[in-house]
Amino acid sequence: MLKLLNIGMIGYGFMGRAHSNAYRKVNNFFDVQHRPVLKAICGRSVDKVKAFADQWGYESTETDWRRLVERKDIDAIDIGTPNNTHLEIALAAAQAGKWVLCEKPLAMNGAEARKMVEAVEKAKVPNFVWFNYRRVPAIALARQVMDEDRIGRVFHYRATYLQDWTISPDLPQGGAALWRLDAAVAGSGVTGDLISHSVDTALWLNGPIQSLTAMTETFIKERKHQETGKVQKVGIDDACLFLARFANGALATFESTRYARGRKNKNMFEINGEKGSMYFDLEDPHRLQFFDHGDPPHLAGWRSIHVTNFEHPYHKQWWVPGTTIGYEHTFINALADFLKGVETGKPAQPDFRDAYRTQLVLDAILQSARELKWVNVNPG
């Protein structure tokens, strides 16, 4: 028997769509005991929130998240709003005993994140952070390869997350679609947006980062602000690079930018170990490259694994071998894992505590970039 799970979604932007789609689809494809119900959507604009409710089939609307959190008919609060709102909503939701799902990054900084961890742990409510890329089947396969000990001692980790959509100086900052360029709302630029994904994946695959040295840059110094209409100083980082040393001894480079012309979504990582190597690029998300040093020397080569077989993570739930799934499926897979985690008592990761550790790495990055020196990462 399916248990209804009444969702209160906050935010009707891009993430509002992605999460709503996940709630609508999860039961068509996964055997989970909970059935999400699109109970209420919350956003500041009355017109937009109503239009969104129509489009997605929400039963009701709210324009004040505080009212939503108080509603007795809501089981779970999903925070899909900009970064500077996460703390307050999450604390209220936890206090109200709601399940809390939160978009990444968890918070503006480690201090905020810590409060959020404490709140959900005190309230003992299921909690989850939407670092959706862990549920790309190829990345989940990479984790499986690590677990199977096919890489051996890790020497190197390198990651990039490259985009090119903010190169034009005519692009304004702030407002609905461009809040990620407004430091007051986003906290940081690519560090919180892109490199947080790279760090989440790296910690999951390769364990803790011990120390790092970083640099950031803001290439376009001033942009018109959407809301004030004025040209204002840009406070975010357009690019962020760092060198790091993992606890397991591996050396690493990380780089993220929105100024890599021609790179649309190059969320790439490569791991080099004694026994093998792996390479992933989100621009070809259905492939994982794997080099196995155990192959006969004359036949060794990088394998391009088309991660679409029934043997691969998540794919038995979807279509047939050889057919691809896309971006949105990472959210559906994540939701299924989250629900199964609640049902089995083995919480899916990253929960708030796990995402807090990523936040601490972001803190170290920003500190290092400010001070231009090596920084030890707070292990959390």
- Within 237-296, the residues that bind a copy of itself by CB under 8 A are 239, 241-243, 245, 249, 251, 253, 255, 257, 259-265, 272-277, 282-286, 288-293, 295
| 3-10 and 76-79 beta bridge pairing | parallel
Total residues contacting a copy of itself (rule CB under 8 A)?
A: 92
Among 72, 221, 320, 346, binds a copy of itself (CB under 8 A): 320
Q: Which residue's structure tokens are 């979604």?
A: 9
Residue 102 CB burial class (10 angstroms; 0-12, 13-18, ≥19) = buried
Could you give the angle at the alpha carbon of 250 between the alpha carbons of 283 and 152, nearest 5°?
A: 85
Nearer to a copy of itself, 165 or 228 (CB): 165
CA 22 to chain centre: 15
Which DSSP symbol is given to 276? Answer: E
When the beta carbons of 77 and 136 are compared against a copy of itself, the nearer one is: 136
Residues of this chain, 175-194, that bind a copy of itself according to CB under 8 A: none
Minimum distance between the CB of residue 29 and a copy of itself, rounded to whole angstroms? 9
Phi and psi for 6 in degrees, rounded to 5?
Answer: -80, 120
Among 26, 107, 119, 141, contact with a copy of itself (rule: CB under 8 A): 141
Does the protein bind a copy of itself through residue 46 (CB under 8 A)?
no
Q: Which of 311, 344, 376, 379 binds a copy of itself (CB under 8 A)?
A: 311
The number of residues making up the chain comes to 380
CA distance 282 to 288: 10
Structure tokens at 369: 């970039």
Query: Min. distance of Cβ 180 from a copy of itself in angstroms?
Result: 11
3 state DSSP class of 7: strand
Stretch that binds a copy of itself, among 78-86, 102-110, 178-186, 308-316 (CB under 8 A): 308-316
Question: Does 201 interact with a copy of itself (rule: CB under 8 A)?
Answer: no
Q: How far is CA 352 from CA 100, 340, 347, in A?
A: 9, 17, 11
Assess 372 for contact with a copy of itself (CB under 8 A). yes
Among 48, 50, 115, 306, binds a copy of itself (CB under 8 A): 306
List the interface residues with a copy of itself, window 81-140 (CB under 8 A).
Answer: none
